[in-house]
Structure formats: C-alpha cells, structure tokens
C-alpha cells in the first residue's frame, strides 16, 4: 500500500468526545474506500469503535513520556500519507507533525497542519467544529445522528438484569449524578438528586444510578435513599441497550450523557460550568438544564464558595418534575 493510501485519524478522548466524533470518523472512512485507515485512541475507548467497517484501531496510553516516545517512533515508521487530527490538543498536534504525513488536517490553524479551517467562534458546537474540518478536507459534513448497535449479547444481558431486579422497562429512569473527579463543579446537588429520585419513586418509577469508579461512593449514598446502584455494572454496549429500555435519563455533562443520547433516550443534562452550546448531547439541546447566571460558563473545576454554585444548585427537584410533566414524560 502506498503512503498516500495510509491514513491516520487521531481521537484520543474523552468518552463523550469520541462518541460525538463517530459520525465524522465514518465520513472519513467513506471518503477513502481504498485506503488503509487507522484510528488512534485511548485503550478505554477502543470498544466504542470495535468492529467499525474499514477501520483498524490502535490504542495509546496517554500517560507518561516513555509511552509518548514509543508512539512517536511507531508513527514515524508507519509512513502515513494523511492525518486527520480530530483531537486538537498539544499532544495530538505533536503526533500529527511527527507523523511525516504530506497532508495533515486539523481543527484550527496551527503549524502542525497543512490544512485547517479558520478559527471557529467560541459558541460553535464541537460536532459542527469537526464538520468544518471535514469540509476543509473536501469531505461532506456528517449528519448529527448517533448510530450505535448494542448487539444481541448486550440486549440479553440487560433483559436478564432488569428481570432479576424486577424493573419494568417503561418505568425505568437512569440517573448519572457523578462526574470526573477533576470536574466536581459539574455535579448537581446530591440532596436534590435524592429528592428527585424520591419524587419519581412516588410515581412508580425505578431509578437506577449508573456510572464508573469515580461515582461509586456517590451512588452508594444516593441508592441508600432509593433506587438501584448499578455502578460499574455495564460496558458501553450494555449501557446503550439499557438506555433503549428506559423512559428518560437525568445526567451531568459527562460521557454517560452522550452514551444515553446515542441510545435514542430523552436525556436531561445539567450544564453550569461548561457551555451547553458547545457540548450538549446530539439531539438533546432542548433538554438542557441550567440556571443562567452571569458567571456561567466559568470552566472552573470547582465553584468558588462565594458563587454558591447557583448555575446548578438553584434548580430544584420540583423544577425538574415540572419540566418532565411539561414534556409529557410523567
């Protein structure tokens, strides 16, 4: 295979960003039907793209200079002709430049790239920003639709799990109350979540608390009030299958928010420190939960005490119930 037919796509993370980029990755693959295309991503996201037609996956552990040095040597030996940097970080720009590819496409102007669109406005959604990259490369923009197949094994596992826990599909609600430990400001007040779960339980819903290891202590406390603790119980495909069985979800601005949206579920998501205009889940902009205050979005991982986290904590559980009633979900 010639150098011009070897293509690298870089999308290292995070979880929600990889999900958002999948339509663009598929557009790149479709635009190069005769090329050998490799996606470079983090090991924890490799399952998301496993089995994608026309795409090989290489996992890169993002921590440490030794791993980075090894990757740069690997990149140089691969002789890629074209690189699409969908990440746009300093690390990915170094990778792109070091690849030696004759055509290097990025999200915004930089010396690492041979092609890039003009700098986008701060309010442009990440999905649209990636579409500008595609258009700069002469590729048709992606349609804002997420299409992930759960698969029969995942559907069977979820069916068994729901039956074991006595949950009726139509009365299932999924809550992701957590966030990355680096972004505690994204979390709605714990007591508000507990109150909302109680109010939904009174309406005969079953609340299931989902999330990963960073959410374990929080979910244990919340499920002790009401609901089922499913921390770490599901992988990506299983969570898609679970979302396809639920009535709706309430979540932080997080990876699980994007997964549940990809399942076609109504996802009500809290945005305060981050800008919902740039990072809401696809198709969910009408279900953003935020209290517009002058300091939002602040992009601070922890809210200063004097601000009292009003962008989120001023929203009550009763407010969410009213919203759900208005939307015909209660």
For 229-291, give the DSSP string.
E-TT---HHHHHHHHTT-SEEEEESSHHHHHHHHTT--EEEE-SSS-HHHHPPTT-GGGEE--
Nearest to 12 by CA among 94, 116, 114, 98: 94
Facing residues of 8 across strands? 38, 83
Rounded average pLDDT over 61-78: 88
Rounded average pLDDT over 72-77: 92
Rounded average pLDDT over 230-234: 97
Residue 1 has pLDDT above 60, yes or no: no
- pTM for the complete prediction? 0.93
What is the average pLDDT score of the chain?
A: 94
pLDDT tens for residues 237-286? Answer: 999 999 999 999 999 999 999 999 999 999 999 999 999 999 999 999 99
Query: What whole-number distance in Å separates Cα of residue 158 and Cα of residue 125?
Result: 33
Rounded average pLDDT over 160-172: 90
Helix then strand count (H, E) for the chain reads 13, 11
Rounded average pLDDT over 289-293: 96
Q: What is the pLDDT of residue 168?
A: 80
Q: What is the pLDDT of residue 299?
A: 95
Per-residue confidence at 4, pLDDT binned at 50, 70, 90?
A: low
Query: What whole-number distance in Å separates Cα of residue 154 and Cα of residue 150?
Result: 6
pLDDT tens for residues 180-212? Answer: 889 999 999 999 999 999 999 999 999 999 999
Nearest to 273 by CA among 247, 246, 301: 301
Q: What is the pLDDT of residue 2?
A: 54
Tell me which DSSP letter residue 54 carries.
Answer: T
Task: List, in order of start, the domains of the chain with CATH numbers.
Answer: 3-136 (3.40.50.2000), 153-326 (3.40.50.2000)
Task: Return the sign of the alpha-carbon dihedral for residues 192, 194, 196, 198.
Answer: negative
Dmax (CA) for the chain in angstroms is: 64
Residue 3 has pLDDT above 80, yes or no: no
């Amino acid at each position: 295979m010639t150098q011009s037919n070897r293509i690298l796509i870089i999308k290292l993370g995070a979880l929600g960003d990889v999900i958002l980029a999948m339509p663009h990755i598929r557009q790149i693959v479709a635009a190069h039907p005769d090329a050998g295309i490799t996606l470079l991503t983090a090991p924890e996201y490799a399952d998301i793209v496993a089995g994608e037609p026309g795409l090989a996956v290489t996992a890169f552990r993002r921590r440490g200079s030794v791993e980075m040095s090894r990757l740069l040597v690997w990149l140089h030996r691969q002789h890629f002709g074209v690189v699409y940097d969908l990440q746009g970080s300093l690390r990915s720009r170094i990778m792109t430049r070091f690849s030696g590819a004759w055509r290097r496409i990025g999200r915004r102007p930089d010396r690492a790239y041979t092609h890039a669109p003009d700098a986008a406005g701060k309010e442009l959604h990440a999905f649209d920003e990636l579409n500008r990259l595609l258009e700069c490369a002469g590729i048709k923009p992606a349609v804002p639709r997420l299409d992930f197949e759960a698969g029969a094994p995942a559907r069977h596992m979820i069916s068994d799990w729901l039956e074991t826990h006595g949950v009726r599909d139509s009365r299932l609600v999924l809550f992701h109350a957590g966030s990355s430990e680096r972004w505690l400001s994204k979390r709605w007040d714990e007591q508000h979540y507990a109150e909302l779960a109680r109010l939904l339980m009174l309406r005969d819903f079953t609340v299931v608390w989902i999330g990963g290891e960073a959410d374990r202590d929080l979910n244990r406390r919340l499920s002790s009030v009401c609901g089922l603790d499913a921390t770490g119980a599901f992988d990506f495909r299983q969570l898609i299958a679970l979302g396809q069985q639920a009535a709706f979800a309430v979540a932080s601005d997080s990876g699980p928010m994007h997964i549940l949206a990809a399942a076609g579920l109504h996802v009500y998501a809290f945005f305060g420190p981050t800008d919902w205009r740039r990072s809401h889940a696809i198709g969910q902009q009408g279900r953003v939960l935020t209290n517009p205050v002058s300091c939002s979005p602040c992009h601070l991982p922890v809210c200063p005490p004097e601000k009292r986290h009003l962008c989120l904590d001023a929203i009550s559980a009763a407010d969410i119930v009213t919203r759900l009633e208005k939307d015909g979900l209660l």
